[in-house]
Amino acid sequence: MKSRKLFVMVLTITSFSTLVTPPTFSDTLKNNPLTIYQVMQYVLDRYPSLKISEMEVAQATEQRQQVESSLGWILNSSAGISRELSGLGTPSDSLDVNGSVSRQLKSGATLSLSGGYRYEDSSLSYSPILPNPAHTTKLDLSYRLPLSQGEGNPQYLEGIVSSEAGYDLAKANQLLTRISLAEKVKDLFYASALTYARLLNAKEAVERSRKLEAYIYKNFNLGLSEEKDRLQSRAQLRSRLADLSAIQLTWQQQKTSLNRLMLENWEQELQPRLLTPDNKHYDINEIIHITKDYHPAVKISQANLDIAESQIISAKDTKKDNLDLVLSIGSRTSDGKNTAGSTISEKDLAGAIRLEYRHLFDDKGVNSKYKQAQLQKYIALQDIKKVNDDIRYTVAGLVAEINAAKLAVKTAYQKLQSESLKLKEAEQRYRRGRADIAQLIQFQNEYSLSELAYQNQKIDLNNRVIALEIFSGRFWISLNQGSSSYGVIK
């Protein structure tokens, strides 16, 4: 009895776990038509090139750390022993230990602290009052202030600007990769949607041809239809079947391409779902403003301009002469024993103020660097103008195309309604013997063309709406929100 209850409990838990198991990706594709946003999300989750752009952005973030580290403290040290002949030709042993720490400030000045120790033992004493061996120490604090070249540390500022611009370029290139991928997905998705609409249209045409052939075959057996009617209906059906086979081949190819883009099994069934745009008014100026704030081409042009301007400042600084003011203060000690055995110890302060000047006579190189930076700035300014013009014309063109496409959808729908009424009227007249088979087949073909034209116009409208969303950046907002600002055709 207990074992039976245990079996029932296990069976219940197993059944419940089966019910709550989340659907797989394949089930989602098979059971639910996919919108462009869903397809794009699947691609973003799986496409490998996006991982590369993410690593490039992470790499660019390290550049600023490298520039900022140039203001860090630097330690220099040295130590050594030597045996040399003095000026009088007598041998002398010595030990030298030196060290310093220095850093450059954001202002361009350099602060350093240095010290040293020297031990010297000569085989011959030059004077009985001088210590031999002698111990000498020194300690100095110095401050170097550039008065001309290097004032304000333009090299550091250029490095910071370049690192930030490099990060902006990496982010912009990452967004360009996403945009390029989104456009690829868009083109393939709507090409597949058109083929899928053609496939449904062809299947409906085949079904109508089958019904017509069956109707004529029945009347032919009753003596109400002629042989030519039966042959025409059969030829119509075979023609429609041939069209359907060709479309099925195209659909299989595009379905495989779409599955490959999503890294799904090549034979996975799917169904594109169209969006139904609302009748909202597009404010062109507002869209242009939003696009300028978003588009990576603008960010790339601005980053290139920032780099060029910082290079101009750096090149101007390089053209200046070197003029540095150096201030230092320190202490000196010397001690030891003389030949008489007396201990000698001397201590004193040391200080200095000096000017250092350097002039470069051959300045062709620095002038060339300055001209290159100016040309780079002019190129960046022209590129910014070109990008802004492209944005204005592209946005205005897409909005005009969307408005025209909406009108085309409305017109195509009206024509489809007319063709539907015309076909129904022709079918009624044919049953009453007042129309021949050729006219009925003609009307069926015209209805199929009108139905396909209507679907084509809807797909074209969707394509242009999504093109505007991708170009203006609205596409990614809609993607993050999980839905579009537009509805979905049920």
* pLDDT (tens digit per residue) in 343-354: 777 888 888 899
pLDDT at 124: 64
By CB neighbour count within 10 A (0-12 exposed, 13-18 middle, 19+ buried), where does 352 fall? exposed
Give the pLDDT mean for 384-408: 93
pLDDT at 129: 61
Residue 7 in domain: no
Same domain? 275 vs 128: no
Between CA 311 and CA 72 the distance in angstroms is 23
Q: What is the CATH number of the domain that holds 286?
A: 1.20.1600.10
pLDDT at 224: 58
pTM, whole model, 2 decimals? 0.75
- More reliable by pLDDT, 327 or 152: 327
Task: pLDDT band for 485, please (50, 70, 90 cuts).
Answer: very low
Same domain? 436 vs 482: yes
pLDDT at 486: 38
* Helix, strand or coil, per DSSP, at residue 434: coil
Cα 138 to chain centroid distance, Å, stands at 57
Convert the pLDDT of each residue in 175-191 to its tens digit.
888 898 899 999 999 99
pLDDT at 223: 63
pLDDT at 341: 60
Residue 6 in domain: no
When mean pLDDT is compared across 67-81, 87-101, 450-464, the lowest value belongs to 87-101
By CB neighbour count within 10 A (0-12 exposed, 13-18 middle, 19+ buried), where does 271 fall? middle
Other C-beta atoms closer than 10 Å to the C-beta of 244 total: 17
Convert the pLDDT of each residue in 104-133 to its tens digit.
888 888 899 999 998 887 766 666 666 777
pLDDT at 6: 39
Highest mean pLDDT (candidates 91-105, 338-352, 388-402): 388-402
Same domain? 92 vs 231: no
Per the structure, how many domains does the chain have?
2
Residue 393 in domain: yes
Give the pLDDT mean for 359-374: 83
Does the pLDDT value for residue 302 go beyond 50?
Answer: yes
Residue 234 in domain: yes
Does the pLDDT value for residue 18 go beyond 90?
Answer: no
Q: Are 227 and 235 in contact (CB under 8 A)?
A: no
pLDDT at 194: 93
Convert the pLDDT of each residue in 228-272 to its tens digit.
777 887 888 888 899 899 989 999 998 888 888 887 887 788 889
Q: What is the DSSP string of 99-168?
A: EEEEEE-TTS-EEEEEEEEEEEEESS-S-TTS-SSEEEEEEEEEEEEESSTTTT-HHHHHHHHHHHHHHH
pLDDT at 386: 94
pLDDT at 263: 78
Same domain? 81 vs 59: no
Residue 36 in domain: yes
Give the pLDDT mean for 395-419: 93
Task: pLDDT band for 398, please (50, 70, 90 cuts).
Answer: very high
Does the pLDDT value for residue 482 go beyond 60?
Answer: no
Does the pLDDT value for residue 154 go beyond 60?
Answer: yes
Same domain? 44 vs 167: yes
- More reliable by pLDDT, 417 or 152: 417
Range of the domain at 142: 76-104+109-149+322-358
Does the pLDDT value for residue 412 go beyond 90?
Answer: yes
Cα distances from 424 to residues 211, 277, 438, 440, in angstroms, run 14, 31, 15, 10
The CA dihedral of 244, 249, 252, 255, to the nearest 10 degrees, is -80
Same domain? 282 vs 212: yes
Same domain? 294 vs 348: no
Same domain? 45 vs 130: no
Task: pLDDT band for 488, please (50, 70, 90 cuts).
Answer: very low
Task: pLDDT band for 21, please (50, 70, 90 cuts).
Answer: very low
Residue 313 in domain: no
The chain-wide mean pLDDT, for the chain, equals 82
Give the pLDDT mean for 89-102: 85
Residue 228 in domain: yes
pLDDT at 471: 93
Same domain? 203 vs 271: yes
Does the pLDDT value for residue 483 go beyond 80?
Answer: no
Same domain? 268 vs 203: yes
Does the pLDDT value for residue 134 go beyond 70?
Answer: yes
Does the pLDDT value for residue 168 go beyond 60?
Answer: yes
Task: pLDDT band for 405, please (50, 70, 90 cuts).
Answer: very high
**8-state DSSP, 278:** -
Give the pLDDT mean for 324-340: 82
Does the pLDDT value for residue 9 go beyond 50?
Answer: no
CA nearest 272: which of 373, 349, 191? 191
In 71-109 the beta strands, taken as DSSP E runs, fall at 74-85, 91-104
Residue 455 in domain: yes
Task: pLDDT band for 339, please (50, 70, 90 cuts).
Answer: low
Same domain? 335 vs 428: no
- More reliable by pLDDT, 143 or 45: 143
Does the pLDDT value for residue 417 go beyond 90?
Answer: yes
Same domain? 50 vs 115: no
